[in-house]
Amino acid sequence: MKLIRRSLSTLIALSSALCTLGAVAGPLYRIESAQTIKSLTRPNWDYLAFDDAHSRLYISRRDDGVLVYDAKAKKLLGTLANTRGGNAVVLVPEFNRGYTINLDGSTTVFDLSTRKTLDRVKFGDDADNGFYDPVTRQILVTMGDSQQVAFLDAKTGAPLGKLQIDSHKIEGAAPDGKGQVLVALRDRNKVVRIDMKERRLVAEYSTVPSCEQPSGMAFDAAARRVFVGCRGASPVLAAMEADSGRIVATTTIGRGNDVVLFDAEQRRIYTSNGVDANMVVIEQVDADTYKLVEATNTRPNARTMALDPKTKKVYLVAAEGTVDASKEWSRGVAPFYPNTYFNDTFTLLTLSRR
């Protein structure tokens, strides 16, 4: 009888271990498709945005405008009108509005249902990215060249004001659910807090030595944690207390991170890392504990991404590039970061768990 009980206990323990292993490993991400997209000019792109209500992916291609991709039909729907210079897209479903953030310091307002362009509103001389704060119903636009952020009315796109920021590398931002937004300053090794209602800087937090060159950001409302992609010599994902700025944990990621995403349903954080050509997925065990799930290959220069929260598919874009030594190139990200991309090599990658 003792032998039977021992055997049964062993089988239960083994079964539990295998179930746990399966839960951790599960299906892993692989490239489901790589779709080449023709371009009018040499590829030049930045951020992606996914509209889960309509299953549409918005791809900011700068010189060619903002491209729309139907994720269900797996086909291109065309380019949004009057979006030349589009570098990012901000989605505001509650007003059925989308806003492209254009490099010339303007926003193109469009209808999310029909994709019809409604207006192009000028608010400054430059722009990079935008982030929606649902509490104050404002869009915060980062403007690193002019060392500012701008505030837009999320219902109309009307400019509401600007705030000077001591940084030329104003990167990712994360609304905290209380009407304030945390913003990464890559060249200052800081995260600053902006009160959206008063439109003023209310706090700043140093990220060193744990996190050098903070870039992409995402927010976990339940645990009050901000996830920061740190580009320094030893790239990490930093988990920061949203209310104090204290970094509670770091986990290794790849080089060249631009975007961090958090999926609250899975309790997982995604980082797209263009230099190392990988996507790192990290599990949140609890508010202060994080562990690697996987690090899957993507393509060189696939630095930005978007997640479909329903299917869990991840979309990235990349292109074939080179360093043309007759021209200047950036050495800040990598010794040989491409300054030239080749026509008709712009590729949409779809990653799914298989």
d(CA 229, CA 212): 9
Instruction: State mean pLDDT over 231-247.
Output: 97
Q: Specify whether domain 169-305 bears CATH 3.40.50.450.
A: no
Give the pLDDT confidence of 300-350 residue by residue, as tens digits. 999 999 999 999 999 999 999 999 999 999 888 889 999 999 999 999 999
**What class, spelled out in words, does domain 35-164 have in CATH?**
mainly beta
Domain boundaries along the sequence of the chain: 35-164, 169-305
- Strand partners for 170: 185
The phi and psi torsions of 36 (rounded to 5 degrees) equal -80, 135
d(CA 223, CA 236): 20
Beta-carbon contacts of 271 under 8 Å, excluding residues fewer than 6 positions away, are 216, 229, 237, 253, 254, 257, 259, 260, 261, 279, 280, 282
Q: Are 123 and 160 in contact (CB under 8 A)?
A: no
**Cα–Cα nearest to 48, from 122, 117, 100, 123:** 100
Supply angle C-alpha 244, 245, 246, rounded to 5.
90
**Is the pLDDT at 7 greater than 80, yes or no?**
no
d(CA 24, CA 214): 28
Q: How much is the mean pLDDT over the chain? A: 93
Which H or E run includes 67? strand 66-70
Instruction: Give me the half-sphere count of Cα atoms (radius 13 Å) on the Cβ side of residue 154.
Output: 21
Helical residues (DSSP H) of the chain, grouped into ranges = 2-25
Model pTM?
0.92
Say yes or no: do domains 35-164 and 169-305 share a fold: yes
Maximal CA-CA distance, the chain: 82
Instruction: State mean pLDDT over 20-39.
Output: 79
**Is the pLDDT at 18 greater than 50, yes or no?**
no
- Strand partners for 251: 237
Q: For strand 106-111 and strand 117-122, is the pairing parallel, antiparallel, or unpaired?
A: antiparallel
Instruction: State mean pLDDT over 75-89.
Output: 97
